[in-house]
Structure 1
Amino acid sequence: MSDLSKKLHNLSPEQRELLLRKLQARKKAAGAGKSNTGIPRREDSNDLPLSHAQERLWFFDQLVPGSPLYNISAAVKFSGPLKADLLEKSINAVVERHEILQVFFETENGAPVQKKASSTRITLKKEKLSGRSLEELATEEAQTPFDLAVPPLIRARLVEIDAGSHALMLTIHHIVADGWSMGVFINETARFYRRFNGEDSIDIPPLDIQYFDYAWWQKNAADRKKLEAQLDFWSAELKGMPTLLELPFDHSREALQTFEGRHYHFEIDPPTTEKLRELSRRSGATLFITLLAAFQALLYRYSNQDDFGVGIPIANRNKKELEALIGFFVNTLVIRAQCDGGQSFSDFLEEVKKRAFRAYDHQDVPFEQVVEKVQPQRSNQVSPLFQVMFELQGDALAGLNFGDLSLENIDFETGTAKFDLLLIMEEGRDRLKGVMEYNSSLFQAATIERMMGHFALLLQQIGSDPQTELGRIDLMADHERKKLLDEMNRTEEAYPEKPFIHQYTAYFAARSPEHPALVFDEGRISYARFEELSNRLAHLLIKHGVGRDTRVGVCMERSPEMVVALHGILKAGGAYVPFDPHHPSERREFMLTDSGVALMLTQPDLSGLFENAAIETVELDDRFQILADEATDDPRVEIDPRQLAYMIYTSGSTGKPKGTLLEHRSILNRLIWMQKSYPLTAEDVVLQKTPFSFDVSVWEFFWPFMYGATLAVARAEGHKDSAYLIDIICEHGVTTMHFVPPMLKVFLENRQSADCLSLKRVICSGEALPYALSRQFYATLPGATLINLYGPTEAAVDVTAYICPRERADKKLPIGRPIANTQIYILDEALNPVPSGVGGELYIAGVQLARGYANRPDLTSEKFIANPYSALPGDRMYKTGDLCRYLADGNIEYLGRIDHQVKVRGFRIELGEIEAVLREHDSVRDCIVLVREHAGEKTIVAWYIAGEGREVSADDLRQHIARSLPEYMVPGFFIALQSFPLTPNGKIDRRALPDIDIESRRGHTRFVSPRNHLES
């Protein structure tokens, strides 16, 4: 290796980048006939101006006084005969050489000024190691803040480990130095030490200029036209870039940006390191750029965000006289990433290289001025333009010579983090080392360890095959993939295929004929009587041609007749199709045509709804007179597991409802699982209050009859009246019931709900269950258990389950884990499994999947797709459209609908997070937050219900939210309602919420009275 090659090899990555940029700049200057003029000494040596970067740090210190965030710390272990007096003398020689290390800061006329201390001497604090580790001492040193008004802004501490080894701990405030400066400081300390020790007689050349000359030049003599042109470049380069990178955090952001941090250390093996170096050479990129591109690819996969910025430090020493100076020179550049999952890493690297080189060409303008020019949406929660930073450093101790002393770097925690993430890679001789500095108020240690494991795998793949598409890079090791795809889905249970859900009643009718099967306002029906009535109806239906897969419509109010109708239809071999009598006539007419029902079971008072329809109706009155002449024995119709059991219509994106077809085997699996998980006995009473057009009603109608329990039937429309529900619970001793979360909140706000002592289990589903509501539940009903279930109609009601604890540290309520014989996959857009902690779309597989949608083969094939993770021929999975992620404990967290992820002013916003904060206000009972168009722009609107007897202003609500969330998440409009419009299933009807009106535009809240019975 030639001397030149050796010198190049020994350069740090930062020095190599600087050399490359200098060569490029020299080439450009030569082509233009220009020279790279130097920085002159300032005329007035007493003029000590602050640079732009120094001003920024001074302002930060005013906002957060006493913070160690901008301490630059290093700890080095010396082995050998260290002479402490010479080390102290050497340190002071460096301080005397660099005037910036002698300053302190004061305020004059509201502005910062820096002044040189009349005398600056560093006293090397000496101590012996006793009772504490070096790492603890180094952390303590790093976390001790400076007072900018008290010089010197540098400390040195020497710890004697034993007779032959010491540890030097250096701390300098960033306002007078940067990372490069720390290298200069230690290198010059070593040179002075050798000289004072008689080992080196070569003088250190004097400095051409001091840091103050640079600061004066930056503010007074720099090329203004050049800087303006660079500002224009950055304005164009960052135009339209989202200024917030939404990574999957373990904890929500605080109202104000926090800086608590920790470090995670890792290594990249030599073979991968060499492959990355070779890839860089082939691509004409530096290793820094290759690693930056790889890190951006990881962030893309973690965030599902295809446009974002990552910060990189730039030494900002592109003039020779600056290289030997200590001072705060480092500037920050933003490297934008625009990712496409179908793009190869090689092509992406080429784009990053071009962006980086363009950024290098426009590096002179201070970052603070770029922020002012771009004017991103600002927030007290995050740094502007980027929240993630990347650095590549060389071996900090390489080339250091303290004579006969050997040196070793000491790793330690600083306890701080300037950004959400800061990845520092260090290039060693044969391998890469990495340190991830992370904000510990956002991330758990296990999450960062997992993320860096994924980064290592990504580096291996791009090193071996740079043509791999970004969306197809496999982030997971085999053990993690096996855990998420296989171990988490080991739900196999050998459930019996028979009897079917309607066939259990015969057993209890014979065993306990007088035990109440149904109780209701007017009386009760025994098991024997219920079995007789459903048998009679089955015989009648068979006479009307009902058989295998025959669809029979049911249009009834909630009543014993409805329960008998559903059981009788299944006994006849048919499938029931609910028609809610309160639905609009247009919807009923569409369903009649679309469903192909052969017969309609209804009640005398409702028969008029179908007088103009071409369908035969059978009326059941409360005395069941039409069944008097029918046989009482069980018709014993043969049922196949894949036979249709019911068909339920749900809202469709086209405005027309879609009918979902569920088979017997699907709902049977669901109910057997439910019994094994939350066993019912003959002593239990289940409340039937869910509208039968909502799939939750299926388990209410059939589960209790399978195990000899009693079904309490609420009166028609009774599910909307919390006082009535409390009465029926107490009267019949209800033990088990269901609520959608909004109705549970209404129920719990009735003080009499605490009297419902018979309740043993309350099941919630249909919408996200807020943690605060769970706390309210246990405060009101401490003897009951709250169960959070999740699932779509397309998968037989529910597919995951979670028993809510009374307390949970992260204040999140997961939707749990997959139930028996059901598989859950959380996948990205390319159907790759996403790592634990990363959001993806939830897919469902297993026995509970629906047959599909009636008369919608296109939609069926779109939503029910081939399962790539199953070896079973024809196995399918259902695409839910729900955004979820696995938590560290193996539970699944629901993050919202994918189509509810909205962007406002460039920020991606999860509306549920705003709702959760607004609900914490003492005067807000419930709320809904959506994005609406107003004056051609997207704006956030909050509809809320105030607590009983409470009044609250929009300003009060704004201030409440602003204490927890950034400004861009504070709603622009607040609309007060007495109640929310509900769908017939009891869910909130978001489309029926009133529009923004004149009063709400003025920032006032307006009470909106109910417009129909659903809102009242």
Structure 2
Amino acid sequence: MHHALYDGWSLPRILGAVEKAYNGGVLEERPGFNAFVQYLSQQDQEATTNYWQTTLAGCEATMFPPLPPSIHQPVANAMLEHQCPPLPRTMASDTTTSTLIRAAWAIVAGNYTSSDDVVFGATVTGRNAPVAGIEDIVGPAIATVPVRVRLPRDWTVPALLAAVQQQATEMIPYEQTGLQRIAKMGADAQHACGFQTLLIVQPADDGLESDKSLGRWQTKSELQDFTTYALMVQCTLATERVQITASFDPQVIEQWQVQRMLGQLGFVAQQLAEAGGKTTVAEIDTLTPEDRQQLWKWNGEVPPVVERCVHELFVEQARARPDAAAICAWDGEMKYGELDELSSRLAGYLVGLGVGPEAIVPLCFEKSMWTVVAMLAVLKAGGAFAPLDPEHPASRHEEIFRQTGARVVLASAQHSTLCSGGNRTVVVVSEAAMRELPSEASEASTTDKRTTTRTKAQPDNPAYVLFTSGSTGKPKGVVIEHRAILTSCLGHGKAFNLTSDSRFLQFSSYTFDVSITEIWTTLLVGGCTCVPSESDKKDDLSKAINALDANWAYLTSTVAKLLDPERIPGLQNLILGAELVTDHDWNRWSPYARQITAYGPTECCVLCTFYSGTLGFYTGLLGKSVASVSWVVDPNDHHKLAPLGAVGELLVEGPILARGYLNDAEKTAAAFIDDPAWLLEGCDQHAGRRGRLYKTGDLVTTMQTAI
């Protein structure tokens, strides 16, 4: 039968009447459906319009699940079931189980949309209408309505349940309006009626048991009548359990995620039913024990720290391959042995100028092989380098000089005048300048032993400081220690399979931390960093890639779009990062190069996640952690883990984290946190631990298929 003739409420009554008539019984007269129709015809249309416009005013809720661009009409052709224990009756007597489940679903959905304004659809029986004998009327009184639930975090659970209950009661006179009519009542109403989740709460079909007279009656789920929504959740209330059944479109939402959500729904409903009068919405936990166990299974171990200094590992490479190419630049080439010798000479001179551990030395260079010499020399002297962009205004440079307390600056001959002034010593680094270094520096660098004696840098000393714009536009220095850069570079270098055969294009600005991968990850694995000129970088990058014989590049999607893959056949490996990577970006390069997408804030030493699979990429995928572990927490409370699949803030834990922000303890304390409650607690099979984490501020979801 079609729902134009009956609804789920009517069916047991129809079957009961058939059975009674079949057995020779006398049927009692039931109220006619025309009474319900008459009730509908007497509705106050102005009041109806006013109710829905007021209820849905300002609705900007994110619809869940979101439809992929390729899907205009979902087809819910997959089904899952989940059983949870019966809900305890400790809540207020006037709160119905249906209200409890609506509130629970709103909390779960709010986690998946990172919003305290939630909209979903609900199917109602229509049997609360003020019509005499409405419970016995046979006919289609069923209706679907948009349900909007607001979730202020400071509300108590009783207040939330009371609000949801009141809304359901106030909606009764208007629940037969119809979605098509509601959607025409304004833009807000139209948006709300675009929900993709439908919630159905119904009692067990006790009246449809097998009967000796009629035989076994095969019923179908209400879900089978609403297959045009991406996700439909039906909760059947029985004495011994709550049966939760979901029908969903697997092209829109994956099976594992639906399974997790059903568990979360039951878990939240149990908490709401047991909550005390002062329990707030913020205190309701959506992370099930199963979710927590899975997260700790992935993140149970933090990668070990590399307690060494960057220049020490470089020297090991230089001794192992002194004649191998270290730098191939537009302005010259340099072997490992030459780079080691020149940087040691300059380091000796810098030590004489007072450069040592914790000293920060700004660098101001155009693209050049001499920049690498300058960086390495600062490290060998024990200091930390801080790259400047010659194109930035002088006021920014002065602010960086002030913050670093710089007394020594290294620069190219072209840009040395940008750094003069104050009490600073500007050291020009070039081929000619290197020949003019004092003989004492040259002599002091003749033995590794004497240089090592002067260099007192330890793994916990800074190796570089990168200045970002900061939220106020004021330069904000991110301090990265030796052990962090080594742990990161060696970690992602191994993950990417960088080798001594790698020739990495040095495309990025020195003030952008991708340059650390292009230069230092490459040199630490024995590869060659390939440096184009500024003009080639801007005007003909393909020509530069071919001329330098680069087989690796780390580019933004925007830059990659400007290149023709067929013009650069030697570029065998392409890392895309620093901005959103779309399916189109990925697919465009797939036939031509091995691809990696990478993500990481400056505070996490270049990158902390990557993806390099050949299949399964989708827009926005970050991939798995490298040299660190990733956690997703409640965006409003980093002491609460977010459930799997829900939206939350990404936190990064591990030895790749920055020391903090230069001279800014307050901002450091706000962004780098210690020992959140969930980390200390652990779970049943994993002991908790202490740890330091960086709050990225980026909203993400943990996807089971991406781990």
Alignment TM-score, normalising by the size of structure 1: 0.63
Cα separation, 2, equivalents of 1:451 and 1:713: 50
Q: 1:182 to 1:254 in 2, by over 3 A?
A: farther
Equivalent residue for 1:318?
130
How many residues align? The count is: 685
Q: Within 5 A, what are the aligned runs for 1:123-142?
A: none
SS at match of 2:610: strand
1:427 aligns to what? 237
Cα deviations across residues 482-526 of structure 1 (Å, max 9, x unaligned)?
A: 221x2222454456423x222234334444333222222243222
In 2: Cα distance, 1:873 partner to 1:375 partner: 50
- C-alpha spacing 1:286/1:518, structure 2 compared with 1 (3 Å): closer
Cα separation, 1, equivalents of 2:431 and 2:404: 27
Match of 1:563 in 2: 372
Partner of 2:667: helix, strand, or coil?
helix
* Equivalent of 2:151 in 308, 323, 339: 339
CA distance in 2, matches of 1:683, 1:190: 83
CA distance in 1, matches of 2:580, 2:206: 53
1:945-956 matches, cutoff 5 A: none
1:260-291 Cα deviation digits (max 9, x unpaired): 3433223222xx43x1xx235x3422222222
1:32-111 to 2 correspondence within 5 Å?
none
For the Cα contact (< 8 Å) 2:118–2:149, is it kept in 1? yes
The one of 763, 768, 779 equivalent to 2:580 is 768
The corresponding residue for 2:658 is 850
Match of 1:247 among 64, 69, 72: 64
Q: Contact 1:397–1:407 (CA<8 Å) still a contact in 2?
A: no
Please tell me the residue identity of whatever aligns with 2:622: I
Query: Residues 156 and 281 of structure 2 are in contact (CA less than 8 Å); yes or no, is this contact kept in structure 1?
Result: yes
The question of 1:550 aligning with 2:367 is answered: no
Aligned to 1:730, which of 533, 537, 546? 546
Give the distance between the partners of 1:477 and 1:860, measured in 2 at CA: 32
Corresponding residue SS for 1:762: strand
Q: Secondary structure at the match of 1:656?
A: coil
SS at match of 1:188: helix
**Structure 1 position 561, deviation (Å):** 1.4
What is residue 46 of structure 2 aligned with on the other side?
228
Q: 1:867 to 1:247 in 2, by over 3 A?
A: farther
What is the CA distance between 1:662 and its match in structure 2? Answer: 0.7
Indicate whether 1:194 and 2:5 are aligned: no
C-alpha distance in structure 1 between counterparts of 2:39 and 2:207, whole Å: 33
Residues 826 and 841, structure 1, Cα contact 8 Å, conserved in 2? yes
In structure 2, the CA distance between the partners of 1:377 and 1:321, relative to structure 1 (3 Å rule), is closer
Q: Structure 1 residues 504 and 375, CA, compared in 2 at 3 Å: closer, same or farther?
A: closer
**Cα-to-partner distance string for 1:609-632 (whole Å, 9 max, x where unaligned):** 234444221112233233262323
CA 1:480–1:203: 2 relative to 1, 3 Å: closer
Closer/same/farther in 2, CA of residues 622 and 887 from structure 1, 3 Å limit: same
Secondary structure class of the residue paired with 1:414? helix
1:526-555 deviation digits (Å, cap 9, x = unpaired): 222211110110011011000111111111
Residues 515 and 527 of structure 1 are in contact (CA less than 8 Å); yes or no, is this contact kept in structure 2?
yes
Residue 883 of structure 1 deviates from its aligned partner by: 1.1
Distance in 1 (alpha carbons) for counterparts of 2:267 and 2:210 = 37
How far apart are the structure 2 equivalents of 1:511 and 1:288?
A: 72
1:478 is aligned to 289
2:605 is the counterpart of 1:796: yes
* Amino acid in the other structure paired with 1:816: G
Q: Which digits, 9 at most, give the CA deviation of each residue in 1:228-283, with x for residues without a partner?
A: 334333332332233x543255x6255633343433223222xx43x1xx235x34
| Paired AA for residue 814 in structure 1 | L
> Which residue of the partner structure matches residue 459 of structure 2?
641
| Cα contact 2:39–2:131 (8 A) shared by 1 | no
Q: State which drifts further: 471-480 or 788-797.
A: 471-480
- Find the aligned partners of 2:416 and 2:21 in 1 and give their Cα distance: 103
Cα distance in 1 for partners of 2:48, 2:189 equals 21
2:671 touches 2:694 (CA, 8 Å); kept in 1? Answer: yes
Distance 1:264 1:411, change over 3 A: farther
Change (3 A) 1:214 1:657: same
Provide the rounded CA distance (Å) in 2 between the counterparts of 1:683 and 1:392. Answer: 63
Aligned residue among 590, 612, 617 for 1:778: 590
1:712 partnered with 2:525: no
CA contact under 8 A between 1:289 and 1:353: conserved in structure 2?
yes
Of residues 470-479 and 345-354 in structure 1, the stretch that sits farther from structure 2 once superposed is: 470-479
CA drift of 1:388 comes to: 3.2
2:685 corresponds to which residue?
Answer: none
State the match for 1:887 in structure 2.
Answer: 703
Looking at structure 1, the residues matched to 317 and 50 of structure 2 have their Cα atoms a distance apart, in angstroms, of: 81
Structure 1 residues 846 and 187, CA, compared in 2 at 3 Å: closer, same or farther? same
Contact 1:262 1:416 in 2 (8 A): no
- Answering whether residue 14 of structure 2 is matched by residue 185 of structure 1, we say yes
Deviation track 1:785-804 (CA, whole Å, cap 9, x = no partner) reads 11111111011111112114
- Runs of 4+ in structure 1 off by over 6 angstroms are none
Does the C-alpha gap of structure 1 residues 867 and 176 become closer, same or farther in structure 2, counting only changes over 3 Å? same
Counterpart residue number, 2:199: 390
* Pair 1:837–1:175, CA change in 2 (3 A): same
Q: CA separation in 1, counterparts of 2:383 and 2:649?
A: 35
| Larger RCO (CA within 8 A; separation ≥ 6) | 2
Aligned to 1:695: 513
User: How much does 1:458 deviate?
Assistant: 1.5
Change in Cα spacing, 1:209 to 1:479, as seen in structure 2 (3 Å) is closer
What secondary structure does 1:356 align onto?
Answer: helix
2:256 paired residue number: 446
1:600 paired residue among 381, 392, 409: 409
Question: Secondary structure at 1:179's aligned position in 2?
Answer: coil
* Partner Cα separation in structure 1 for residue 568 and residue 147 of structure 2: 60
Asked if 1:464 is matched to 2:282, the reply is no
1:697 maps to amino acid: S
Contact 1:504–1:707 (CA under 8 A) maintained in structure 2: no
Q: How does 1:869-908 map to 2 (within 5 A)?
A: 869-871=678-680, 875-891=691-707
Q: Amino acid of the residue matched to residue 246 of structure 1? A: M
CA shift, 1:889, in A, is 1.4
1:971-1010 equivalent positions in 2, closer than 5 A: none
Equivalent position SS for 2:235: strand
Letter in 1 for 2:64: L
Asked if structure 2 preserves the Cα contact closer than 8 Å seen for 1:495 and 1:672, the reply is no
Match of 1:839 in 2: 647
Q: Which runs of 5+ in 2 are unaligned?
A: 681-687
Quote the Cα distance in structure 2 between the aligned partners of 1:333 and 1:248: 18
Q: How does 1:952-963 map to 2 (within 5 A)?
A: none
Which residue in 1 is equivalent to 2:683?
Answer: none
Q: Secondary structure at 2:371's aligned position in 1?
A: helix
1:776 CA displacement: 0.9
Q: 1:638 to 1:256 in 2, by over 3 A?
A: same
Distance, in Å, in 2 between the alignment partners of 1:712 and 1:332 is 63
For 1:306 and 1:756, the matched residues in 2 are separated by: 49
The alignment partner of 2:310 has SS state of coil
Displacement after TM superposition at 1:306 (Å): 1.1
* Structure 1 residues 546 and 429, CA gap change in structure 2 (3 angstroms): closer
Match of 2:94 among 281, 284, 289: 284
8 Å contact kept, 2:631–2:641 = no
Q: For residue 829 of structure 1, what is the aligned residue in structure 2?
A: 636
| Residue from 458, 468, 471 that aligns with 1:650 | 468
> How many angstroms does 1:349 deviate by?
0.8
Which residue in 1 is equivalent to 2:335?
526
SS at match of 2:322: coil
Which letter does structure 2 place at the counterpart of 1:338?
Answer: R
The correspondence for 2:500, drawn from 679, 682, 686, is: 682
SS at match of 1:730: helix
Q: How has the CA–CA distance of structure 1 residues 518 and 429 changed in structure 2, closer, same or farther, with 3 Å as cutoff? A: closer
Counterparts of 2:75 and 2:689 in 1: how far apart (Å)? 53
Provide the C-alpha distance between the structure 2 equivalents of 1:366 and 1:535, rounded to a whole number of angstroms. Answer: 79
